[in-house]
Structure 1
Amino acid sequence: MKKIIYITCFVISIFNTFAQDNRWSEEKANNWYKSFSWFTGVNYIPSDAINYTAMWDKTGFNPALINKELAIAQSIGFNCVRVVLQYAVYADDPSYFINTLDCFLDICDKHGIKVMPAFFDDCAFGVNADPIIGKQVEPLEGWYAWAWSPSPGHTLVVDQRFHPLLENYVKDVMFKFRNDQRIFVWDLYNEPTNSNLGHRSLPLVKSVFAWAREINPIQPLTMDVWNDNKELNNIVYENADIISFYCYGKKEEMARYIHRLRQYSRPLICSEWMNRTTSSTVDDIMPLLKEKNVGSILWGLVNGKTQTHLPWGFRPEKLPYTGIWQHNLYHSDFKPYNVSEIEVIKRLNGVIKSGNPVFYGWYADPEGIIYDDTYWIYPTLSDAYEKQTFFDCFSSKDLVTWIKYASILDTSEVKWAKKAMWAPSVIRKGKKYYLFFGANDVHEGEIGGIGVAVSNRPEGPYKDLLGRPLINEIVNGAQPIDQFVFKDGNTYYMYYGGWQHCNIVKLNSDFTTLTSFSDGEIFKEVTPEGYVEGPFVFKKNKKYYFMWSEGGWTGPDYSVAYAIADSPFGPFKRIGKILQQDAAVATGAGHHSVIHIPNTDDYYIVYHRRPLNDTHGNHRVVCIDKMTFDKEGKILPVKITFEGVEPHIL
């Protein structure tokens, strides 16, 4: 027995010596850190995963959702994520696990996000301390991290007879990705000694450093300093290439922690922070981390099955929870928990573009316009027809930060409108602001069509101008929807029409009725080839650009085409599509408007689109991208982006 102990001690001693001898120098570590921009990101777990086993398992890995959520992370400027790997999934099928990790890294890379994987984790918040592969249990409502699954599980941590299996796991995974630029740091062990394991975790702590050093990856190694365990922390300080640490305290505590860790002369990354209940907030902590050039990885992105919006230790008998969220930036429907936090994050992350979508919510058919020094967007609420009973609008000074004005016009004001309030078109005349809209999805013989509302302010409230529709009947086969008001000189025209037909009419001076053209006609059809709905017109270099939407509005092939003519009446001969889906970004890009910055050549297309792999007919979001022209004045195909547009102050 003594002989075995002596041999074991000798082997561990060799491992530790090798780990320290192969450790990066302070100079190498600091030069590595200087080669990157500031690390800013989140601890990531998909909102549909109750634990990391579910994230990686064959029954739970969801690349479509991961892609959506990391697109959000990218849009607010995050460039890294930290995730915990699950040994149990690897043990079940090593090839599958390696391929799945590679897939995850690809998704991250597409969004400009680097990854810090953690091999092990001792945390257990529920009743299970050993992971089980396969479909995971559903959340127990009101229990923080109910089914969290440690890796490899407490049994394998304590029983060192299993450590050779863990050694093979670490070396196999690390060897496969040892030169992979998509990984920026290897985090060897999350919170060792937690959940009452204590000193029993230390043999694995020591061994994993040695195993990793044998692989000698191009990425630095770390292990997080997370508590006051002196023996554990000394192992980290003596072996880690960079120092990563947790701090969920307020600003003063974070500052003291950073000051204390500077003595090790190595790069610092705060790999867990943000607990609103303890004053670890975005407003206080993130600016400090950036000022001190300390990497920032907060917890977490989208709230979901882990229920980590609840405080640590929260249990069902305490429901309902009415306090502030502990962690997470977004609800599971991707609505920000606190919009002002997102704006702080974007500013500190140097986001100089709007991001797409430009604001939260299911909206469609956006009309963009400039009033004085402010941009405005008036969209349709994208919901069931019976729920489309009001309009919201949004304003911005720079195209990047948008303010919402709720319910600027609703059916309580428009007595004849009952549903399907669609596609607002807005214009200012004198000191009044007019909003034209469709309502009721009108068919022959029904009440509905195109109405007009008026206000003294662009944000409303708007009042029904007529008490009846301006256009109720179906003329030339055009359903009275999707109106666009266009001023040409001193004349106000309106283009409108669904059902693959488009008419032009002329408005009288106070927008209360239609007036006839010189030939006595009131309605003129101007339908181009391929037209379905959503007309928009602008004038450039004395040419009239007529644009419209093609394809089915619920489908992926919804798109925008255009024509050019010398007259507002056409003829409009179709030139081609300029806005359509991109398989790497979004589908169903259509029903748009155009914003032109006065006295410049800057044009922006404001449109709605559908997130990838989302089949809900009403999931449409508002986006903005640049629109450009060739030397002949033809519109070049628009590249739809996640990034959106740069700020432009009028």
Structure 2
Amino acid sequence: MLRSVLAGVVLSTSLVLSTSLVLIGGSAARAAPLPAGAASLEAVNYPGRYVRHQDSLARLDPVTAAGSAQLKSDATFTVVNGLASPACHSFQARNGQFLRHRDWRLRIDANTGDATFRADATFCAVDGALASYNYPDRRIRHRDFALWLDTFVDTAAFRADSSFRITAPWAPRTTRNPVVPGLFADPHLTAFNGRYYLYPTTDGYAGWSGTYYKAFSSTDLITWTDHGVVLDHGPDVSWADNSAWAPAVAAANGRYYLYFSGGAATGDTAKQLGVAVSDSPAGPFRDALGVPLVRSGQFPGGQAIDPMVFTDDDGRSYLYWGQGVARAVPLNADMVSFDPAQVRTITPAGFNEATFVFKRNGLYYLMWSENDTRSEDYRVAYATGPGPLGPWTPRGVVLQKRLDVGIKGPGHHSVVRAPGTDTWYIAYHRFAIPADNGTNRETAIDPMTFNADGTIRPVVPTP
């Protein structure tokens, strides 16, 4: 079994923890990120005993190859983006719940998305142990094989009881999706310079109140590099500190432009659109204007959310956005301005949000999401037309739930063509499997194919 120790005592070629240290909040030293993905946690001083959940409570029990499938599943977690901080980690059980502390006892619970839960379910690697995000002087340790969050005492016994190895998972994942571990939604998938880039909304927040965006990249849509936070509404955007939704990135003028939705946590909470710029598709991005690109109420009707940019073969780019009402406008060459008089309303029947436009073989495709993202009936429909602004001919629903494999609410998608081919993929979010909802969503990618007449064949969403 491949292993790496939090303290760096044993390092594996596939699961390696760097020993470099950074400061979080100027208080305690934190180790560099743990490897994301499925893993099990073995006690250093009790080899063969692993962190597992039993009747929701977390404990340390023996696990062997002869153990039951349920035991192995209970002893397998996915290391994901920290619910309270991307600099730390959360541990998601196979049933979709998260390891958290409550009254200092470690247990698993469903993510409610509020600030207290997110903090209670976030842990930071420090000195070979896992320290609480919101109580940094407390660390996970085992006492009589039960797991507790105890105040750190600098003794050999405490250090031994709070040290764990990250090992290969007892119950390896057998599915391709989700493509990145953790809770991410509204994925914008694109390709730059022969490499795929994925820009999602960071999910798992009550009221979708996340504040930052991450970027991931891949050469094969399977193995992904996490480029970290590329834009954070808190320090990076003066007019928004909340509701970091639905990023979309376009390339022009030798630069990269990230379009995003944002709102304020207090005062005027209406959503607005912004644009940030970077010299690299991996960021970091900076607010290009210092003010919204599309202001709340600037165009009456609907919400100013879910921006998307399509660039035609002639180099002209078009901005699309809206919830309730779909709008489109040609962008100026600077990519950060447009003529308000040219804004058009292009709302198709059934439209709710998440406009996406692409072109194939001279035909333009307008796609969107129907119903509410909290509904299992959230889905994707589309239309075709002769130009980037239509007129549009409805073609029907192309992606919807698949209850036989537990897929609910697939939508808010994007489409990418494999460079130099006629092979296409669709990225979308769905309720996190097995038992989550419209604020705990995960990102999936599946092939998208066409009929001879250019219509899209129904997409089969996969686990």
Identity %: 34
Alignment pair present for 1:506 and 2:334: no
Which of 323, 326, 331 is the aligned partner of 2:163?
A: 323
The CA distance in 1 between the partners of 2:56 and 2:369, in whole Å, is: 43
Q: Secondary structure at the match of 2:250?
A: strand
Choose which of 173, 188, 195 in structure 2 pairs with 1:374: 195
Q: Given residue 330 of structure 2, which amino acid in structure 1 is its aligned partner?
A: K
Matched residue type, 2:195: T
Q: 1:406 deviation in Å?
A: 1.9
Aligned to 1:361: 182
**Cα 1:615/1:373, change in 2 over 3 Å:** closer
Offset of 1:477 from its aligned partner?
1.5
SS of 2:383's partner is strand
Name the amino acid aligned to 2:199. Y
Give the structure 2 partner of residue 301 of structure 1. 76
* Cα-Cα RMSD: 3.6
> Which residue number in structure 2 is paired with residue 626 of structure 1?
447
* Partner SS, residue 404 of structure 1: strand
Q: Is the 8 A contact 1:563 1:574 kept in 2?
A: yes
User: Match of 1:301, as an amino acid?
Assistant: T
**Preserved CA contact (<8 Å) 1:427 1:435:** yes
Q: 1:300, 1:448 → 2: CA distance? A: 42
Please state how far the C-alpha of 1:541 moved relative to its aligned partner: 1.3
Q: Cα deviation per residue 1:563-614 (whole Å; 9 max; x = unaligned)?
A: 0011212122321100010002210000000011133221000000013563
- SS of structure 2 residue aligned to 1:584: helix
Q: Does 1:552 align with 2:372?
A: yes
Structure 1 distance, partners of 2:363, 2:454, is: 9
Q: How far did residue 400 of structure 1 move?
A: 0.4
> Partner residue of 1:465?
288
User: 2: distance between equivalents of 1:322 and 1:510?
Assistant: 54
Is the Cα–Cα contact under 8 Å of residues 553 and 588 in structure 1 kept in the other structure? Answer: yes
Matched residue, 1:434: 257
- With over 3 angstroms needed to count, the CA separation of the structure-2 counterparts of 1:506 and 1:327, relative to structure 1, is closer
Structure 1 residue 442, shift from structure 2 partner:
11
| Residues in 1 aligned to 2:370 and 2:267: alpha-carbon distance in whole angstroms | 23
Distance 1:138 1:315, change over 3 A: closer
Letter in 1 for 2:350: G
The structure that is strand-richer by fraction is 2
Partner of 1:525: 345
Which residue number corresponds to residue 311 of structure 2?
A: 487
| Compared CA separation, residues 630 and 405, structure 1 to 2 (3 A) | same
Distance 1:315 1:533 in 2: 47
Matched, 1:592 2:432: no
Match of residue 144 from structure 1: 60
Deviation, structure 1 residue 325: 3.3
Q: Alpha-carbon deviation of 1:631? A: 1.2
* Equivalent pair of 1:416/1:447 in contact (CA under 8 Å): no
Q: Aligned pair in 2 of structure 1 residues 487, 306: CA closer, same or farther (>3 Å)?
A: closer
Distance apart, 1:144 and its partner CA: 2.7
Deviation readout 1:71-118 (Å, 9 max, x if unpaired)? xxxx98xxxxxxxxxxxxxxxxxxxxxxxxxxxxxxxxxxxxxxxxxx
The answer for the alignment partner of 1:639 in structure 2 is 460
The change in CA–CA distance for 1:422 and 1:138 in structure 2 (over 3 A counts) is closer
**1:461 partner amino acid:** P
Q: Aligned equivalents of 1:624 and 1:310: distance in 2?
A: 38
Map of 1:33 onto structure 2? none
TM-score under structure 2 length normalisation: 0.65
Give how far 1:473 is off: 3.7
The answer to whether the 8 A contact 2:301-2:325 is kept is yes
For 2:332 and 2:362, the matched residues in 1 are separated by 24
Gaps of 5+ in 2: 2-36, 39-48, 78-92, 94-98, 100-105, 109-139, 151-156
**Cα distance, 1:138 vs. partner?**
7.0
* Structure 1 unaligned regions, length at least 5: 1-39, 41-74, 77-124, 126-135, 149-189, 191-245, 247-269, 273-296, 331-341, 643-650
| TM superposition shift of 1:635 | 0.4
Map 1:245-394 → 2, pairs under 5 A? 271=66, 300-302=75-77, 314=145, 321-325=161-165, 329=169, 355-382=176-203, 383-385=205-207, 387-394=209-216
Deviation of 1:443 after TM superposition, in Å, equals: 13
Larger Rg: 1
Distance 1:138 1:552, change over 3 A: closer
State how far apart, in whole Å, the 1-side matches of 2:315 and 2:167 are.
56
2:393 corresponding residue in structure 1: 573
Identify if the C-alpha distance between structure 1 residues 445 and 326 changes in structure 2 by more than 3 Å, giving closer, same or farther. Answer: closer
C-alpha offsets along residues 502-523 of structure 1, whole Å, 9 cap, x if unaligned?
Answer: 111111111231136xxxx321
Could you say what secondary structure the match of 1:601 adopts? coil
Task: Return the TM-score normalized by structure 1.
Answer: 0.48
The equivalent residue for 1:398 is: 220
Name 2:355's counterpart in structure 1.
535
1:377 Cα shift? 0.4
Determine if contact 2:208/2:439 at 8 Å carries over to the other structure. Answer: no
Tell me the CA shift for residue 486 of structure 1. Answer: 0.8
Alignment partner, residue 416 of structure 1 = 239
SS at match of 1:325: strand
For 2:356, the aligned partner's letter is: F
When residues 442 and 451 of structure 1 are mapped into structure 2, their CA distance, relative to the original with a 3 A threshold, is: farther
1:213 is matched with none
Show CA shifts across 1:129-175 (max 9, x none).
xxxxxxx9774x7x633xx9xxxxxxxxxxxxxxxxxxxxxxxxxxx
Tell whether the 8 Å contact from 1:389 to 1:419 is kept in structure 2 after alignment: yes
Q: Is the contact made by 2:271 and 2:305 (CA closer than 8 Å) also made in structure 1?
A: no
Equivalent position amino acid for 2:261 in 1: G
Deviations 1:232-291 (A, max 9, x none): xxxxxxxxxxxxxx7xxxxxxxxxxxxxxxxxxxxxxx647xxxxxxxxxxxxxxxxxxx
Q: 1:137 to 1:570 in 2, by over 3 A?
A: closer
